[in-house]
Amino acid sequence: MIEILPMSKEHIAQIAKIEKECFSQPWSEKALSEELTNDSAVFLTAVFNGEVIGYIGANFIIDEGYITNIAVTEVHRQKGIGCKLLSEMIEEAYKRNLSFLSLEVRVSNEKAISLYKKLGFDYVGIRKNFYEKPIEDGVVMTKHF
């Protein structure tokens, strides 16, 4: 059974490994560790048999929420884990009375865009050349509460 748990220091090395697998500019273990002491950061992990197989991070500032990253290991994709993580973050944002939750996604990441739409995120705009390695536009999507 998959558990969704708050990120802890024991999860950092596994999350950093997922970062390297999924992103061209991954967060370091140091950067992830710093989020543990960041009062505005909310990080959740998907754990299966003691292994972190996915995670999501966000910053909640006043009544605004910004998702910083979400990733699932390649072998565990297409099993609803990303949906479960994002749903939990939406629930957390709702509990904290946020006005909205927003994110950026590569314009080419059609599967992620489809997931975000399914969970009520709307297209807001484009950030030109937002991503590097490769350079690509970012789609801004927001869910209002």
Helix extents (H) in 96-142 = 110-118
Catalytic residue among 116, 123, 131, 136: 116
Known active-site residue 34:
no
Find, among 69, 71, 79, the residue nearest to 21 by Cα.
71
Catalytic residue among 19, 35, 92, 104: 104
Helix extents (H) in 5-101 = 12-22, 29-35, 81-95
Q: Please tell me the chain's helix, strand, coil percentages from 3-state DSSP, rounded to the nearest 5.
A: 35, 40, 25
Known active-site residue 104:
yes
CB 140 within 8 A of CB 127: yes
* Dist. CA 52–CA 64, nearest whole Å: 27
Name the residues annotated as catalytic.
Answer: 104, 116
